[in-house]
Amino acid sequence: MLALGTNRRVTPLLMLLVIALTVPGMASAGQSRTIHPSEAIELAIENDSQLRQAELSLNLATLELEAARVATILPAVGLAVDLPELTAAGLGQDIGASVTASLPLPWGDGSLSGGLGFRYDAGTSEFVAPTWQVSLSDVLDLARPDAAAERIQSLKWAVESAKRSYTSAKADLVISTLRTYGSLLTEAQQAEWDGEAVSRLTAELDQMKDLATQGYKGDQDVNEAKLLLLDAQVKAEKSAEAYAADLEAFCRTTLRIEEACHLSSIDLSMTDLLAAAHTLRESEIPEGAISGASAVIAAEQSVASAEDDLREARADLLPSVSVSAALDSEEWSVGVGLSLDLFSPGRKADVEIAETNLELAKEKLESARETVRDGILGLKASLLSAIRRAESLALETEKWRLEEQVMTARRAAGSISDSDWAAFLEEKGAFEIDAAGRATSLLVAHLTYRDALGIGLNWEEWL
C-alpha cells in the first residue's frame, strides 16, 4: 500500500503550528478533528449549496412534469352551491347546486366539459328535475397538430437537463474535493520538509561554529551557513502559514467544519490503480458518452425545435379547424369552422429562414459532438500521462537514490559547497513530495475519465 500525501507522518511541531494558526482558541481546548478522504467527500456533498440547488431544481422539474401529466389524464371537478336569496319579501325557498368537470383534449387546444345541476324547493319540499349538459370545444391547427404534447415534451427535456446538471455537479464536486484534498496533503508534506530543513541546517550551523572555533572554518563559512538557515526559516514559516490558511479555508468553506481539523493520508494500492487505469484507457469510447453529453443533447434539442419550426412554416397554408358541440337534456348542437390565410407575403421567407436555421442547428450539433469527443480524448491523454508518471516512479526513485550516494561522497570529499548540497537536498525533497502525490493524481485522472465516459466515478471503491 502506498501512503499518499506524506511519506512520513506530519511532525507534532508542524501539527501544533497548523492548529495554532488555524483556530487558536480551539487548539488550547484540544478540539481537533481528523478528516479522512471519504469523509471529506461526503461532507462536501452534504454541505455544498450549488449541489443542493441542482437537486432542488431536479425535484421541481420532476414535480412540474408530473403535474402536467396528471392534468392531461384527470378531469378538473368543481362544485358550486347557490343558497336561498334574502330579499325584501323574505328568504327565498330555492337551493341549487351544480357539479362541473373539464378535461383537456389530447389534440388541438380545447377541452371536453360537462355539468350536472340540482335544485331543491324548500317551500314544497321537492327536488326539481336535474339538468345536465356536455360540451366540446376545440381548435386544431393543422400546422401544429401535436401542440398539446409540446408542453409535456419540453417538461421532459427540462427534467433530463436538470438530472444531467445534478449528476455533473456531483461528479465535479467529488473530483474537485479529492484534488484539493491531495493538494493539501502535498502542502503538508512541503511544510514538514521545510521544517526538517530548518532542523538540519541548524545542526549544520552549530557544527560549522565548532569547526570555526577549532580553526578549520572561517567566518565566511559560518555566515554562509547562517544565510542558508535564515532562508530555510523564512521558507518554513511561509509554507506552514500557507498550509494552515488553505486547510482552514477547505474545512470551513467546503466541509463546513468550524473546529480545527487535519487530514489523514490517502492509502492507495498503486498496483490495483494502475491495472484499473490501463483497463479504462484501453476501452473504446462509447457512443453514449458523446450523445449523452449535455452540450450534444442541447444541440439535438435545438435541431428538433428547428425541425418543428420548419414543419410549421411549410404547413402555414393549411387551415385551422374549430369544432364545437353541445348536448343537454333539451337540445344538441354541432359546429365546425375553418380559418385559412389565403395569402401571406412572408410565407416563403419564413420557410427559407426555418430551413437555414435547421442547417445551422445541424452544424452546431456536429460541432458539439466533435468538441465533446476532443474533450474526452484530451482526458484520455491526461490519464495516459498520469499512468506514465506513476510507472516511472520506481526508476526515478532509484535515480535519486544513486544521485544521493554520489552527492554524499562528493560532499565528504569536499568537492561541492554547502549551498550546492542544500540545493540538491531541496530538489530531492521536491521529487519526494511530487512522487507522493502521483497516486492521487492518477486516481483523479482515472475518475475524471470515467465520468467523461458516463460510467460512474466509483470513488467509494478506492477511498
Positive or negative: CA dihedral 380, 383, 387, 393:
positive
Looking at the domain assignment, is residue 425 inside a domain? Answer: yes
Please tell me what DSSP assigns to residue 108: S
Looking at the domain assignment, is residue 311 inside a domain? Answer: yes
Looking at the domain assignment, is residue 276 inside a domain? Answer: yes
Looking at the domain assignment, is residue 109 inside a domain? Answer: no
The torsion angles phi and psi of 5, rounded to 5 degrees, stand at 95, -40
Please tell me the total count of domains within the chain: 1
For the chain, how many residues are written? 463
- Residue 419 Cα to chain centre, angstroms: 48
Residue in 244, 168, 230, 336 with CA at minimum distance from that of residue 10: 244
Q: To which H or E segment does residue 247 belong?
A: helix 219-249
Which CATH number is 194's domain given? Answer: 1.20.1600.10
Is the separation of the CB atoms in 351 and 242 below 8 Å?
A: no
Distance between first and last Cα of the chain: 12
Q: Can you give the pLDDT at residue 142?
A: 67
Summarised one tens digit per residue, pLDDT across range 144-182 is 667 667 788 889 999 999 999 999 999 999 999 999 999
Q: What percent of the chain is predicted at pLDDT more than 90?
A: 54
Q: Can you give the pLDDT at residue 8?
A: 41
Looking at the domain assignment, is residue 99 inside a domain? Answer: no
Q: Can you give the pLDDT at residue 18?
A: 47
CA-CA distances (angstroms) from residue 203 to 34, 210, 229, 230, 416?
A: 33, 11, 10, 13, 19
Distance from C-alpha of 55 to C-alpha of 70, rounded to nearest angstrom: 23
Summarised one tens digit per residue, pLDDT across range 259-287 is 888 899 999 999 999 999 999 999 999 99
Residue 217 in this model has a pLDDT that exceeds 90 = no
Is the separation of the CB atoms in 17 and 132 below 8 Å?
A: no
Is the separation of the CB atoms in 171 and 54 below 8 Å?
A: no
Is the separation of the CB atoms in 421 and 403 below 8 Å?
A: no
Looking at the domain assignment, is residue 104 inside a domain? Answer: no
Distance from C-alpha of 438 to C-alpha of 2, rounded to nearest angstrom: 10
Residue 384 in this model has a pLDDT that exceeds 80 = yes
Please tell me what DSSP assigns to residue 360: H
* Residue 365 buriedness (CB in 10 A; 0-12 / 13-18 / 19+): buried
Looking at the domain assignment, is residue 105 inside a domain? Answer: no
Range of the domain at 72: 2-76+145-318+347-461
Question: Whole-structure pTM over 0.75, yes or no?
Answer: yes
Average pLDDT on 125-131 reads 76
CA-CA distances (angstroms) from residue 28 to 22, 24, 25, 264?
A: 12, 7, 6, 21
Q: Can you give the pLDDT at residue 177?
A: 97
Summarised one tens digit per residue, pLDDT across range 340-378 is 777 778 888 989 999 999 999 999 999 999 999 999 999
Looking at the domain assignment, is residue 140 inside a domain? Answer: no
